[in-house]
Amino acid sequence: MYRFEICANSVASCIAAQEGGADRVELCSGIPEGGTTPSFGMIRKARASIDIALNVIIRPRGGDFLYSPDELEEMIYDINAAKELGADGLVFGCLTKEGKVDKRAMSMLMEAAGDLPVTFHRAFDHSADPFEALEDIIGLGCTRILTSGCRPTAMEGTGLLAELVKAADGRIIIMPGCGINENNIAEIARLSGAREFHFSAREPVESGMIFRNPQVAMGSEDDPYGTVQTTVRRVTATIAPLKDLILQFRH
């Protein structure tokens, strides 16, 4: 009845997603920027490390989703690399300056994707008219839309999510994401009617470094000696409420 996708920011997060019971990972770098294209090495190692489905985000930078010709060419190179490395699906989205789905840019990327399923990511939440965007994305042949219901979190966007699920009418998968956790996933499922869910299930992981220089940080990091990664515990805990619903339904 339900499928779970983990936003994984590392190979370790991918492994934790699989061990925790997820069906699929969306592999990305640049989490503070909302997710950017992972490296060649990360994709290759992730593919070798997990058996569940591996989707790769194709996003050359943070910021908006209005891409230049050079950025689109870069995205096509990244799509080709992800395909060669064994990705099961791709994740991308392009908008015009007016906030509409950029059908020309998307068509170029969809052609490069070939037979791989494509998720139109949360660029959708920045579209001027979500229902017009929905029809355009269906027309392009995408498999699913990742969305928070055009609100800061999926919990806040359940009203629009429910309308999108109804309007999609089985033609495309509406997958809620952003802020989904063990405390709200069952309620989001009930209110939206969605059957696929996207979440990160991350928590702080302490560094193994013994020597530390507290006077130096890397970039904008507050704590250069810790990371935030997906954990088996959080994946299992987030999935559990909906697994309980399935068991209740079967009995």
Q: How confident is the model at residue 213, as a pLDDT?
A: 86
pTM score, whole prediction: 0.93
Query: What are the structure tokens assigned to 205, written together?
Result: 């992981």
Q: Please give the single-letter amino acid code of residue 243.
A: K
Which ranges of the chain have pLDDT less than 70?
A: 219-222, 246-251
Write the pLDDT tens digit of every residue in 61-97. 999 999 999 999 999 999 999 999 999 999 999 999 9
Model pLDDT, residue 215 = 81
Count the neighbouring beta carbons within 10 Å of the beta carbon of residue 67: 21
Q: Which pairs with CB-CB distance under 8 Å and at least 24 residues apart come from 75-79?
A: 75/37, 75/109, 75/112, 76/108, 76/109, 76/112, 78/37, 79/109, 79/112, 79/113
From the number of C-beta atoms within 10 Å of its C-beta (0-12, 13-18, 19+), residue 81 rates as middle
Continuous segment of H or E residues that includes residue 247: helix 232-250
Q: Smallest Cα–Cα separation from 31: which of 229, 198, 239?
A: 229
pLDDT at 13: 98
pLDDT of residue 250: 57
Element (H, E) at 82: helix 69-84
The per-residue pLDDT for 59 is 98
pLDDT at 160: 98
